């Protein structure tokens, strides 16, 4: 359910009063367009409730002045805002307001109305209908452009941003329909313009969409490439709203790459950053990702490719200490190979043969074993007096029976 945040999810709501918490004396002379601009800046800073207050006030101002464009633009932003705060009755309110607006102004509607209707269809998983409505949005923007060509750089950028918004919405719908080629093509069309003109907010959203597309196709290297671009763009714009979604995507990619330590790091960082109750959609996504991570979690991971050992407590690099990592590796193989017969270990004789490739002689080898097992325990064990990873076992050693263990070697696991 955690869709691209450019298209609001099925949560909704709005502030009870546009006057609440805002210095109205300084806002009385502002147009709906300026109020929307300020609201978007608040949203980028993750000042969610203030953003909603600005959007609601912009809607009231536009309605009082019969500003049709301002009304439709405000409704679109209120839908976006309400996706984060989780009030179902609120979303129905704005849907009803949209229908009333359309009924009273049939034949004189702005392009943004069709974007709003497309959002509603998308939220109801009516993807074919949403696609038609977003295409209608695109055509209406083109028609408006032909009737009133861009005469200033600002007007040109406004038109191209609307077109990019339409294409991005179509791409997200195509992605949800499983139309990978179409979604990727639309993303590339957006970038051909947006990477040159850099309309605010479009690039990061497009990079995130392409990241999720690559992730769903299993191309994690490409997904990470797009995600790094989204990260750079969100930082460049100081758009912390996008930045939080970038961190979320880094957590997902890290989990899929089976780098569980890093995935937990990103989720922990997000939970510390997302303190506002209004960011409910993102909070829900974090909780769902935490569940997925726990389902895939392992207690001990031996990464032979990078000479790393990861435990519940952290990550440890063994560098060129090949002897130590090979001892843990052999204990892990014994642990995994005996899963059907109960967790087993290796005798001292077996460890010497597998690690040192020598025949076991107690007088020559016991000291080596004790010394190196203690080195490993100092590295891994939170409490060396009460080890929880490497235990004594009969005439040798084993990993604790309850451990979930993974070995990474070569291209596979």
Between 39 and 294, residue with greater pLDDT: 39
* CATH code 1.25.40.10 region(s) in the chain: 24-246
**Proportion of the chain above pLDDT 70, given as a percent:** 91
Q: Residues 38-92: pLDDT tens digits?
A: 999 998 998 888 899 999 999 999 999 999 989 999 998 898 788 778 778 888 8
Band (4; pLDDT cuts 50, 70, 90): very low
**Proportion of the chain above pLDDT 90, given as a percent:** 55
The residue-averaged pLDDT of 115-134 equals 92
Report the mean per-residue pLDDT for the chain: 86
State how far the Cα of 151 lies from the Cα of 158, in Å rounded to an integer: 11
Is 50 exceeded by the pLDDT of residue 11? no
pLDDT value at residue 24: 57
pLDDT value at residue 9: 34
* CATH code 1.10.10.10 region(s) in the chain: 300-408
pLDDT value at residue 261: 78
Is 80 exceeded by the pLDDT of residue 257? yes
pLDDT value at residue 291: 87
Give the least confident one: 131-140, 161-170, 296-305, 359-368: 296-305
**One CATH from 1.10.240.10, 3.30.1490.20, 1.10.10.10, 3.40.50.300 for 300-408:** 1.10.10.10
Q: Residues 20-48: pLDDT tens digits?
A: 445 655 677 889 999 999 999 998 998 88
**One CATH from 3.30.420.40, 1.20.1740.10, 1.25.40.10, 1.20.5.440 for 24-246:** 1.25.40.10
Give the least confident one: 8-12, 77-81, 139-143: 8-12
């Amino acid at each position: 359910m955690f869709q691209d945040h450019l298209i609001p999810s099925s949560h909704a709501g709005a502030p009870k009063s546009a006057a609440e918490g805002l210095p109205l004396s300084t806002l009385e002379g502002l147009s709906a367009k300026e109020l929307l601009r300020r609201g978007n800046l608040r949203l980028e800073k993750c000042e969610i409730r203030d953003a909603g207050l600005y959007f609601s006030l912009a809607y009231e101002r536009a309605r009082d002045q019969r500003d049709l464009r301002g009304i439709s633009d405000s409704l679109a932003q209120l839908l976006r805002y309400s996706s984060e705060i989780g009030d179902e009755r609120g979303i129905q309110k704005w849907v009803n307001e949209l229908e009333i607006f359309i009924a009273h102004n049939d034949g004189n509607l702005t392009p943004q109305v069709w974007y709003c209707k497309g959002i509603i269809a998308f939220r109801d998983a009516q993807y074919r209908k949403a696609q038609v409505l977003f295409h209608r949005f695109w055509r209406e923007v083109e028609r408006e452009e032909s009737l009133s060509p861009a005469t200033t750089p600002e007007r040109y950028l406004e038109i191209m941003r609307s077109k990019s918004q339409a294409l991005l919405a179509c791409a997200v719908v195509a992605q949800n329909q499983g139309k990978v080629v179409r979604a990727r093509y639309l993303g590339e069309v957006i970038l051909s313009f947006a990477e040159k003109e850099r309309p605010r907010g479009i690039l990061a959203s497009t990079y995130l969409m392409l990241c999720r597309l690559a992730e769903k196709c299993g191309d994690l290297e490409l997904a990470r490439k797009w995600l790094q671009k989204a990260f750079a763009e969100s930082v460049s714009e100081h758009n912390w709203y996008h930045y939080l979604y970038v961190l979320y995507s880094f957590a997902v990619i890290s989990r899929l790459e089976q780098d569980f330590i890093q995935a937990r790091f990103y989720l922990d960082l997000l939970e510390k950053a997302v303190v506002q109750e209004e960011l409910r959609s993102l909070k829900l996504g974090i909780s769902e990702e935490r569940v997925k991570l726990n389902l895939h979690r392992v207690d001990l991971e031996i990464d032979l490719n990078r000479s790393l050992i990861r435990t519940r407590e952290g990550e440890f690099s063994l560098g060129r200490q090949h002897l130590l990592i090979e001892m843990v590796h052999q204990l892990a193989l014994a642990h995994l190979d005996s899963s059907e017969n109960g967790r087993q270990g290796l005798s001292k004789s077996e460890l010497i043969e597998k690690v040192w490739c020598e025949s076991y002689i107690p007088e020559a080898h016991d000291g080596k074993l004790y010394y190196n097992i203690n080195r490993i325990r100092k590295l891994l064990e939170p409490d060396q007096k009460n080890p929880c990873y490497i235990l004594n076992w009969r005439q040798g050693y084993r990993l604790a029976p309850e451990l979930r263990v993974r070995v990474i070697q070569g291209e596979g696991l």
